[in-house]
A and B are shown apart, each in its own frame.
Chain A
Amino acid sequence: MSRTEPVFEVIHPGMLTTVQDLGRRGYQKYGLAVSGAADAHAHRMANLLLGNPVDAATLEVTLMGLKVRVLKPAVIAITGGDLDPRLNGQPLPMWSTVPVHPGDVIHFSGCKSGCRAYLAVSGGIDVPVVLGSRSTDLLGGIGGVAGRKLEKGDLLFAGPARVPADKVLRRRLHPDWVPQYPRQVEVRVVLGPQEGAFTPDGIATFLSSEYTVSTTSDRMGLRLMGPTVGHKHGADILSEGLFMGAVQVPQNGQPIVFLVGRQSVGGYTKIAGVITVDMPWLAQLKPGDTIRFRQVTVAEAHRLLREYERFFAAIKVWGSSHLSA
């Protein structure tokens, strides 16, 4: 494959489309976000279907509107939320590999479920690696295409495919393994690091109530609305590092859950952290959807993570030996 020939031309960028991989590590202590695909599971699965490394860059499409023209033959896979992807106007199967040809138009026409879809191409989206990652960081103005969201007229290139195109054609994920993205989710949390700053009532309220995702949510975090989580004294703490899934509660008692685009430090109390295996569900919530929180131990969270990675590894083995048509 020639690097000089683009694979896609952006006809319409949609609401928000960015290039993402699994994130930028090692720069949070300077204030740079990790970034990366908000739904890492869907991102990895799209790459897996195509035989790409799991951290190959994909396009993260938010809610609707991305339209690209195919400029050279390629194999694609679309995973994540069902944003009604179409190929030349016809429904395009998700969680499957699909060959595309010059002149084809891929269009995400609307949102049926979830919030974010991932469009992967064999070889991965090839943009320059900046500080160790291809991920777009809109605040830091780096990664992806010139550190910004996609615009009309952008040309996207694919890297060299690791697995020849004919070897990945007509692969699909078994329907039992295709996630459905409900508008009500329950996610598991580990309490801390400042659970002691909340009243027992505040913690009970947090663990028993339903919270609604507000319209001001984005890749940085989900701002929630619901019953007030009460503090003992106040919500201010000396600024400290923030972690993936941190549930911060400022003085107004309304939780904020931090996602991949989060700031690196914060000065408000955190009641809990969402466990790693449940983060992809959060990334697929949109305004009006609801969350409940359930407490687990750290040991349980780690057991679930090992189980998930075994599941993922099993799909890999299955994929490499039996997924080809």
Chain B
Amino acid sequence: MGLQFKYAGDQAILVEVGEGIDPRTSGKVRSLAQKVESCSIPGFGEVILGYRSLLVNYDPLIISDDEVIQWLQRWGQEPEVIQRSEARLVEIPTLYGGEWGPDLEDVAAHNGLTPQEVVEIHSGGDYHVYFLGFIPGYPFMGGMSEKIATPRLSSPRVAIPAGSVGIAGKQTGIYPIQSPGGWRLIGRTPLRLYDPNRTPPFLLQAGDRVKFIPINEDEFSEIHESVLQGRYRPMTRGESVEPN
């Protein structure tokens, strides 16, 4: 489909670039975001990525809504600037089950699997980071196997510890900070997805691929310690073309 433009209040335009959740649409969203961010046209403000849309903020005292739409229309017709094959792959060491993943057994039971099979399936694939949002550094990730899809808890937890790895339907995610939430928790990573004292503060970015690596308690403690000391460098493969 062509780009669809919708007013979002009087200082933002929502651009819809596609219909569903898929990496191709996501690539178009990121490409358009990069064009807005790298243009030096006065009046364009910050952008927020969604699954199939880009929210473009603008200052109506400097640029008109018509001009904003014209620019976006033009950029939408240009070739995309980001290729999915160039995405970075970030490894997330994860301790599955036990107190770290209190819902692992329920997820297994729900899908007629053993907990070990759930871990193998969850850590077997890699995931696409569509965008970050909701709370600081939270990755919205797709690509999880239907075999372990599990609905949200009927009653959300009040406080989920930072680093918790969860499942909701066909999505998987990681809580960067302690927060309430209804996702099924299957494990925890010692990595910090959001650390305001680090540059950059966010471990992941839109367009990254993520792979979960099962670890044991000793490895968890070891990595946790080196994260606390600021020595940990996450394992990545491939280079991202996006500025972080």
Point out residues on A near B: beta carbons under 8 Å: 25-32, 130-131, 139-142, 147, 190-194, 238-246, 263-266, 270, 273-276, 298, 301-302, 305-306, 309
**Chain B 165-179 interface residues, beta-carbon cutoff 8 Å to A:** 176-177
Cβ B50 vs Cβ A239 within 8 A: yes
Kindly state the separation between the CA atoms of A190 and B7 in the bound complex, as whole angstroms: 8
Interfacial chain A residues near B61, Cβ < 8 Å = 305-306, 309
B208 CB to nearest A CB, Å: 12
Tell me what chain B mostly uses at the interface: helix, strand, loop, or mixed: loop
Cβ A31 vs Cβ B135 within 8 A: yes
Q: Interface-forming stretch among B52-60, B92-100, B223-231?
A: B52-60
- Given the known interface contacts A141-B196, A265-B48, A298-B65, the answer about A244 and B11 at a Cβ–Cβ threshold of 8 Å is yes
Cβ B50 vs Cβ A192 within 8 A: no
Interfacial chain A residues near B127, Cβ < 8 Å = none
- 25 A-B residue pairs with Cβ-Cβ distance under 8 Å, sorted by A, are A25-B45, A28-B133, A29-B48, A29-B132, A31-B134, A32-B136, A139-B177, A141-B196, A147-B196, A190-B9, A190-B10, A238-B52, A238-B53, A239-B131, A241-B53, A243-B9, A244-B11, A246-B9, A264-B48, A265-B140, A266-B134, A273-B8, A298-B10, A302-B10, A305-B61
B212 CB to nearest A CB, Å: 20
Q: Which 4 A-B pairs have the closest CB atoms?
A: A273-B9, A241-B55, A241-B48, A240-B50
Point out residues on B near A: beta carbons under 8 Å: 6-12, 14, 20-21, 33, 45-55, 57, 60-61, 64-65, 131-138, 140, 176-177, 194, 196, 201-202, 205-206
Cβ B10 vs Cβ A275 within 8 A: yes
Cβ B8 vs Cβ A192 within 8 A: yes
- Given the known interface contacts A240-B14, A243-B11, A264-B133, the answer about A302 and B60 at a Cβ–Cβ threshold of 8 Å is yes
Partner of A273, one of B7, B138, B176: B7
Kindly state the separation between the CA atoms of A31 and B135 in the bound complex, as whole angstroms: 5
Cβ A140 vs Cβ B57 within 8 A: no
Cβ A275 vs Cβ B131 within 8 A: no
Kindly state the separation between the CA atoms of A240 and B54 in the bound complex, as whole angstroms: 7
Kindly state the separation between the CA atoms of A32 and B202 in the bound complex, as whole angstroms: 10
B11 CB to nearest A CB, Å: 6
Kindly state the separation between the CA atoms of A243 and B46 in the bound complex, as whole angstroms: 11
Interfacial chain B residues near A190, Cβ < 8 Å = 7, 9-10
- Given the known interface contacts A29-B48, A141-B177, A240-B14, the answer about A130 and B196 at a Cβ–Cβ threshold of 8 Å is yes
Cβ A31 vs Cβ B136 within 8 A: yes
Interfacial chain B residues near A244, Cβ < 8 Å = 9, 11-12
B42 CB to nearest A CB, Å: 14
B77 CB to nearest A CB, Å: 22
- Given A192-B7, A239-B133, A263-B135, 12 more A-B residue pairs with CB atoms under 8 Å apart are A29-B49, A31-B134, A131-B196, A238-B20, A239-B131, A239-B134, A240-B52, A241-B133, A243-B57, A244-B11, A274-B9, A276-B9
Task: Select the residue from A238, A275, A301 with max chain B CB neighbours within 10 A.
Answer: A238
